[in-house]
Amino acid sequence: MTDISDRRVGGRPVTGRWFEELPVGLTVEHALRRTVTETDNVLFTTMTMNPAPMHLDAEYAARSEFGQPLVNSMFTVALVVGLSVPELTMGTIVAQLGLSDVRFPAPVFAGDTIRVETEIVEARASRSRPAAGIVVFEHRAFNQRDQLVCQARRTGLMHRRPEAAGL
């Protein structure tokens, strides 16, 4: 990567990686981790109008096979993407193009600490935007017991390094 003082877009410093810095096979272990709280789950679930008792009703959830409320899976995938932003896309993404192959192989509960690693699984120059490339990120999230709790592929339209794009 280039010197951080050279990493600016529109006068703002960026910490993400340019398209050229995201080769297929690159795996990044993200520095940030986050412990999920009951408040996270309740706020996210109610803000998104999801009335599912598995997320909001402790008595109901206690009688389930899990014995406690499940963290809303949409919160989980959003957290996974968010934890990857500083090292991958902060200031260097043009747009998120989509999410695919989202899986939740194990539940997340309040009190779990989530860590994320991301592998670049596809990368190609954009056919319609010469100053950008398309990258597919595979995010994998693990809890404190090293159980895989979320896996998702995210496609992003990424800025090329300004000098590489002729800017």
pTM of the model: 0.91
Mean pLDDT for the chain?
A: 94
- Look up the CATH number of domain 15-159: 3.10.129.10
Q: Cβ contacts of residue 105 below 8 Å, gap of 6+?
A: 147, 148, 149, 150, 151
H helical segments located in the chain:
38-47, 53-56, 58-62, 73-88
What pLDDT score was predicted for residue 4?
47
Summarised one tens digit per residue, pLDDT across range 134-163 is 999 999 999 999 999 999 999 999 999 987
Domain spans of the chain, in order of start: 15-159
